[in-house]
Amino acid sequence: MTLEAIRYKAGSLQVLNQLLLPHQTVYVEVRSVQDAYEAIKSMKVRGAPAIAIVGCLSLAVELRAGAGGDDPVTFIRESLCHLTSARPTAVNMGRAARELMEFAENESMEKNSEQLRESVIAWIEDMLERDVNDNRKIGNYGAQHILSGVPRDSVTILTHCNTGSLATAGYGTALGVVRSLHALGRLKRMYCTETRPYNQGSRLTAYEAVAEGIPATLITDSMAALTMREMNITAVVVGADRVVANGDTANKVGTYQLAIAAKHHGIPFYVAAPSTSCDLSLESGRDIIIEVRPPEELTNINGVPIAAPGIEVWNPAFDVTPHQLITGGIITELGVFLPSELQAALTGRLTAL
Ligand code: MRU
């Protein structure tokens, strides 16, 4: 069984409604940029790379139907601006928007509206393949790096949130590393946190693990330190929504406390992220905007109230892990780097491993 968060063929886009997983598999049609905005905002589709890919593919769908008329550049600019505002913390959508806009503006110098639409659509369609290829490289680099510390043993990995096929175009980032270890026959077990409040761990990562026969155990977020002490965890591997110039990393809330606990237990802590999740324009994690989500995500589960009525709620969706706690390294499609090496690696001044 292949898990697909995104189904695309020329002119048609569907996303798996992740709000209904793991109990129902329902694909929803995305016919417009506005449909994609709503699917991203409501988290039918989520995960930094998937957000960018679905956003851009929705634009491709509209362009194929002739959107923008004689002025596609304005339509593209306004659409990208709208899509980027749906969720502020993950950089991938904003980064894709910047790159795509630059490409569209250059193309518009030489091409008519129809030709411009065609080349922008081709640029967008390429994103799917690029993301899967990058994830496979991340999986491979990450697995080799982790195994280099334990030459003969099988390893036990702790992960957080969902970073797999459901969060990307396929294979996944941190979960891609787990997949690669499993494919090599070197994964003893993955522990995945429940990841309150939205439960990406219990609903989505657990679902991917069960579907693929990856040996996995679910824990609540509050069991993570105990699991590190008792379960012989080899490494913690998480994804990222934005890695900034000094290596500070925004990821699903709860990541920061995992990094602190890993440091206490002497367990290497890795961030797995494609370069499309990196943002060298921000110097430190203090500059990252953290999305705050509605209180109902904490006070209700599937519409059932679980908290005292009237209680005030703070629901930040992400936290920032300081680079000093990323002790294993940042796993990218270019190799594994220490946070202090990231800038040089991304600007081509440093090569893999
Ligand atoms: O709120 P979400 O589900 O979009 O948060 C997802 C995460 O934090 C992931 O770890 C991150 O986007 C990387 S997905 C490859």
pLDDT band at 267; cut points 50, 70, 90: very high
Measured from the CA of 251, which atom of ligand 1 is nearest? 8
pLDDT band at residue 1, thresholds of 50, 70 and 90? low
3-state secondary structure of 99: helix
81 and 93 Cβ atoms separated by less than 8 Å: no
Q: Residue 46 CA: which ligand 1 atom is closest?
A: 4
Q: Which amino acid is at 127?
A: M
161 lines ligand 1 (CB under 6 A): yes
pLDDT in tens, 41-64: 999 999 999 999 999 999 999 999
pLDDT digits (tens, 9 = 90+) for 161-214: 999 999 999 999 999 999 999 999 999 999 999 999 999 999 999 999 999 999
Annotated catalytic residue, options 35, 131, 241, 279: 241
Cβ atoms of residues 146 and 181 within 8 Å: yes
Predicted local distance difference test score (pLDDT) of residue 349: 73
Q: What gap in Å lies between CA 72 and CA 179, rounded to an integer?
A: 41
Radius of gyration of the chain (CA): 20
241 is annotated as an active-site residue: yes
197 CA → ligand 1 middle, Å:
13
pLDDT of residue 351: 66
pLDDT digits (tens, 9 = 90+) for 313-327: 999 999 999 999 999
User: Residues 6 or more apart from 151 whose CB is under 8 A from it?
Assistant: none
Nearest CA to ligand 1 atom 15: 163
Q: Which atom of ligand 1 is found nearest the CA of 238?
A: 10
Tell me which of 7-16, 210-219, 341-350 is least confident. 341-350
Q: Is 124 in the pocket of ligand 1 (CB under 6 A)?
A: no
Which residues neighbour 321 within 8 Å (Cβ) at sequence distance 6 or greater? 248, 249, 250, 251, 255, 256, 259, 269, 271, 285
Question: Which residue, by CA, sits nearest to atom 10 of ligand 1?
Answer: 239
Distance 162 CA to ligand 1 centre (A): 6
Q: How far is the CA of 318 from the centre of ligand 1 (A)?
A: 9
pLDDT at 261: 98
Check whether 353 has a pLDDT greater than 50: no
Does 272 contact ligand 1 (Cβ within 6 A)?
Answer: no
> Residue 318 pairs with which residues in a beta bridge?
252
Does ligand 1 have an atom closer than 6 angstroms to the CB of 252? yes
Q: Is the CB of 86 under 6 A from ligand 1?
A: no
Which of 158, 160, 161, 177 best tests ligand 1's pocket when mutated (most atoms within 8 Å of CB)? 161
Ligand 1 nearest-atom number relative to CA 175: 15
Which of 43, 46, 175 has most ligand 1 atoms within 8 Å of its beta carbon, as the pocket-test mutant? 46
Whether ligand 1 lies within 6 angstroms of the CB of 167 is answered as: yes
Secondary structure E strands in 46-169: 155-159
Name the pLDDT band for 39 (thresholds 50, 70, 90): very high
Flag whether pLDDT at 152 surpasses 90: no
